[in-house]
A and B are shown apart, each in its own frame.
Chain A
């Protein structure tokens, strides 16, 4: 199965997505893309959720994957939109319509989109500084519609429960193949490390600009 379709964000994709959506998630237990018998059915995903619950001041989440040389921000289920707060993943009126262009857009507050793009750019420049590799910054949906991924789940938590902290989230798809040769992997590790440091430095700058709380 695919653990990254097992989180509780629009997990039951046949219910939430349009039948015309190119969602690769599968209900077939023999598929590599099987989403599991229920959301959070797996110990690995429950452990990840526990970390966010245990460390309630978590503000950022980056899921490292291979491959694609992409920095992906929310959302995964449909095109981002910042005009209609009622058009969102919790609104049952849109069940069965998500994941196809033109009929639905997932709500993203404008300030969140600005922050995600700014931090994505810092991450990208940090990676590029190592040896010039230019990663794409994209909304995840631009790849394909997805249900139940980790990054959407962690970002969605403060919408479903306003008592939880907002966690801005990304998926970083490093490299150009699932298992690169070690001589290439060493460079990728340097790139990802530099990117994450640049991300943190950008955060520090932002916090300094805000001044003391």
Chain B
């Protein structure tokens, strides 16, 4: 794995790393078609998983429109929350009947969003 990073300059994920006695290390990584060819020439077994660019575009199309918490929308149950919906969800989570165990807190340093303390 060290060679993948330091010698072949491959962007190895720091997730999903596995070791088995029979197969050695298995890692997930981003690699271009050219990098995949070079890795195979150097004896690595490469299993293409997905086109990361295409997968990212697909997920972006799954983000909801509008705000399911403040208006009726027919995409509510079929899509990721957008930023406005995340904020609304936090407000709802800190409201009754949960207000006895949850509160919204303001963080000292500037950033988007809010934190919920339980």
Contacts and interface: CB of A to CB of B under 8 A. Distances in A.
Interface of A: 2, 22, 24, 32-33, 43-44, 46-47, 50-51, 54-55, 65-68, 143-144, 146, 173, 177-179, 181-183, 185
13 contacts: A22-B1, A24-B14, A43-B111, A44-B111, A47-B111, A143-B17, A144-B1, A144-B14, A177-B55, A179-B55, A179-B59, A182-B79, A183-B78
Contacts of A177: 55
Contacts of A47: 107-109, 111, 115
B117 interface: yes
A168 B16 CA distance: 24
A182 B14 contact: no
B62 interface: yes
B34 interface: no
A185 B108 contact: no
Given A22-B1, A67-B16, A143-B17, A182 B62 contact: yes
A182 B80 contact: yes
Nearest to A2: B14
Contact of B12 (A2, A24, A182): A24
Contacts of A55: 117
Interface residues of B, number: 25
B110 interface: yes
A204 to B, nearest CB: 13
B5 interface: yes
A173 B62 CA distance: 22
Interface string B20-43: 000000000000000000000000
B17 A144 contact: yes
Contacts of A2: 14
A55 B14 CA distance: 31
Given A22-B2, A50-B108, A185 B15 contact: no
A24 B15 contact: no
B100 interface: no
Interface string B28-67: 0000000000000000000000000001101100100000
Contact of B62 (A66, A143, A178, A181): A181
A183 B14 CA distance: 25
Nearest to A66: B15
Nearest to A186: B77
A173 B108 contact: no
Contacts of A24: 5, 12, 14
B3 to A, nearest CB: 10
